[in-house]
Structure 1
Amino acid sequence: MAKAKEEFGGAGSLEDELSCPICLGLYRNPVSLSCGHSFCKQCIQKALGTQQQSKAPYTCPMCKFHLGPILELQKNFQLCSIVEAFLATTSKGQQDQGSAEGKKEMVPCDFCLDWSQPAVKTCLICDASLCQAHLNKHNAKASQQDHVLVEVGAGSTAEERRCLEHSRLLECYCQDDGQYICVLCSVAGRHKGHSIITLKEAHDKQLGELSDMVTQLQEHKSTLATTLEELQRSEDQLKTNMKTVTSQLQNVFDKMKTEIIQKEKKILSDIQSDEKKQLADITKVKKEMEQRRDEAVQHLQSFQKMREQPDIFLFFKQFKLAKDRIASQNFGVSGTDVAVVQLDHTRINCYQHLMQDFMGRLDSLLQDVHREWPALTRQLRTADPERTTASRGVQ
């Protein structure tokens, strides 16, 4: 099975990829739909048959792609070959694993006389394998308390504990070369004259170094934890400050926009009121002029008729009455002054200058807020883990 996993990049994940989405088992006679998804032929036929009974259009069970009224189930030969190869390799791997387990031999105890019991440990000093009963006797002797016990059949592990040159146990430690050696290496070998100590002494020394390293790492851990807490507080404070500043600036700009909109509405309302008033005055004057024009037309028409009057007495009488009426009426022309409001270039330039001056003052005020940010940045830099560690004298 291990070999199969190596060849296929993990049998479990590959088996999932080679499983039918409907029955969740390995593909059997896999076929593909026009959308690209594959199923067991029998599984997809059952699914499509259910859709046909419910008079629903044929769709893919996976992606709901409409397949059309005419179905073509194409056999996926490549997927079929992959499934067959997977099954063959998996079966072979299982057989190999079973054979390896069957070949694992039992190591007998070297001290059993009549019927050898399986050994559970091997003593490297005694060079013997011991069953549980003889292991208990072995450990009960005070002289054998320091013997080295390893798992039965350790193989390379046991060999690593012996000197390659003298085939003796590595019982000493050369401090000059930093190597494990046997007794002969320290007496007649290339480590003669070196600073030699026992493995127990070397173990105690390394335990001391280990303890120092643990203490040092604990100090680093504590310092880093404190620094992370400071950074978290700085991050929270920064977010809080930015949220407050953003809210304040939004309120300022909202008020500015509200005042500008109100000012715009008032100015436009005043202009519209002036327009209505002047239009009303013009309309009144127009009506008066139209009335005078109509009266003048009527008098002209009456004068035209007087010319045709043959009776002189009546002519004088009518003419006198007409002159009296005209004398009593006002035919004068009156107008009204119109206030013409125009935005010339001078005024437009003045407004633009005022706007630029206002924006400049606003930028100056906002820069005061920006000047506070570098101070916060410096605070964050002083909270840098390496700087903090160095400042506290942690090596």
Structure 2
Amino acid sequence: MAKAGEKSGGATSLENELSCPVCLCLYKDPVMLSCGHNFCKQCIRKVLDSQQRSPASCPMCKMQLGPNVEVQNNFQLRSIVETFLAANSKGQQEDGSEERKKAMVLCDFCLDKSEPAVKTCLMCDASLCQAHLSKHNATASQQDHVLVEVGTGGVAERRCQEHGKLLECYCRNERLYICLLCCIVGQHKGHDIITLKEAHEEQLAELSNIATWLQERENALAAALEGLLKNERQLKTNIKTVISQTESLFEQLKTDIIKEKTRILQDIESIERKNLTGIPEMKGEIQKLRGEAVELLQSLQKMKEQPDVFRFFKEFKLIKDRIYSQDFSVNMVGMEVLEMDQAWIGSYKRLAQDFISNMKALLREVQCES
């Protein structure tokens, strides 16, 4: 069973969810940006103020917030944080006094009643209450002493392992913190030595340079990302336009082809009607003449069997008069011969193939450029 002072996994997870991503503490006056991310009001103001030279953006998702950044108070999130704090304060109060007693560090200079220490002097190797700290700082020789928070720990690492002295110097050659004896009689004798304060100033300058360089890189990446998003939007817009144009082109071609097909079929039907107009009448005349020719042929065949010469001559003369009185010539009606030119059909197919090939070549050219 977990102790009252310890946080369960669920409480820790909830506390992480209710913590500002900038200061990593529970939200104080939480506000929400237009992208949906939440921050402490004071934290996001500091972040936005530091972005004056570049377009304001969310420190979480890097979304551009525009020239006029608007933040909204998140009252619901504030209520959740207050409820969480109220639920945890009761358990902390129950064992808080005992924990504080265990964690309390007493002043090393108090004689009668030891007061809680507020600072630890690394030079004096002593913890000081507020009263003795004031006396300590009032002494001119002790004003340069290094003071740290009580219970910070790691005091041993602030002392030289070889001489046991406080690390007050910095060796530029070895890039190490050293004590005074290291640079006087130790292995760092003759090296380029500076004080911790000077080393700290140099490190701050380097930190500032690195931060400036990193900010420039971040700005460049943000600009590159914005350019990429702009190109993505433009590409999508262009693709939609090309698709619309292509669909419109093929629809127009389809409409024109159907229209021309209807007109050409009507012309063909007109030619058919023109050529078939006189055929029924002529067919009747030809059938009539053919029937008469068949009848006369049959009469001639019978005459071959006529034994009476006198009757033969008489009947043969009558049949010949009938034959010569008729006009058995055939006058064909002139008709237009309509047929498709195979060369013309091949030319049309090549034109259609060239059109499709040009469309494909255009698409390949765009793909190669991208």
Using structure 2 for the length normalisation, give the TM-score: 0.53
Cα deviation, residue 200, structure 1 = 1.0
Aligned counterpart in structure 2 of residue 211 of structure 1, from 208, 211, 221 = 208
- Distance in 2, matches of 1:246 and 1:238, equals 12
Asked if 1:160 is matched to 2:157, the reply is: yes
Please report how far the alpha carbon of residue 13 of structure 1 lies from its aligned counterpart in structure 2 after TM superposition: 11
1:356 and 2:354 correspond: no
Distance 1:364 1:227 in 2: 35
Cα distance in 2 for residues equivalent to 1:274 and 1:357:
28
Q: Does 1:263 align with 2:263?
A: no
SS of the aligned residue for 1:169 comes to coil
> CA deviation digits over 1:141-184, x for unaligned, max 9?
443333222232333x1111111122211111111111111111
Q: 1:170 aligns with which of 157, 167, 179?
A: 167
In the alignment, the residues of structure 2 paired with residue 214 and residue 267 of structure 1 have an alpha-carbon distance, to the nearest angstrom, of: 78
Distance, in Å, in 2 between the alignment partners of 1:13 and 1:196 is: 45
Equivalence map 1:312-323=2 (5 Å)? none
- Deviations for 1:306-336, whole angstroms, at most 9, x for unmatched residues? xxxxxxxxxxxxxxxxxxxxxxxxxx99999
In the alignment, does 2:263 pair up with 1:249?
no
Spell out, residue by residue over 1:167-217, the C-alpha distance to the aligned partner (whole angstroms, 9 max, x if none): 211111111111111111122222222221111111111122122222322
**Contact 1:150/1:158 (CA < 8 Å) preserved in 2?**
no
> 1:280 and 1:138, CA in 2 relative to 1: closer, same or farther beyond 3 A?
farther
Confirm whether residue 136 of structure 1 aligns to residue 134 of structure 2.
yes
| Distance in 2 of aligned mates of 1:265 and 1:98 | 96
Q: Residue 194 of structure 1: which of 191, 195, 206 is its match?
A: 191
Pairing 1:107-118 to 2, within 5 Å after superposition: 107-118=105-116
Unaligned stretches of 5+ residues in structure 1: 15-93, 293-331, 378-395
Give matches, 1:97-112, under 5 Å: 101=99, 104-112=102-110
Q: Quick one: percent identity of the two aligned structures?
A: 50
SS in 2 for 1:104: helix
- Within-5 A mapping of 1:251-330: 251-271=248-268
The TM-score, its normalising length taken from structure 1, stands at 0.50
**CA shift in 2, pair 1:233/1:102, >3 Å:** closer
Corresponding residue for residue 151 of structure 1:
149
Structure 2 runs not aligned, ≥5 long? 14-90, 289-327
In the alignment, the residues of structure 1 paired with residue 343 and residue 11 of structure 2 have an alpha-carbon distance, to the nearest angstrom, of 78
1:261 is displaced (CA, Å) by 1.7
Which amino acid is the alignment partner of residue 117 of structure 1? E
**1:364 is aligned with what amino acid?**
N
Distance 1:98 1:241 in 2: 67
| Cα deviation, residue 112, structure 1 | 1.6
Deviates more, 1:277-286 or 1:104-113: 277-286
The 2-side partners of 1:143 and 1:13 are apart by 46
In angstroms, what is the RMSD of aligned CA positions? 4.7
Return closer, same or farther for 1:13/1:250 CA change in 2, 3 Å cut-off: farther
CA separation in 2, counterparts of 1:189 and 1:199? 18
Structure 1 counterpart SS, 2:170: strand
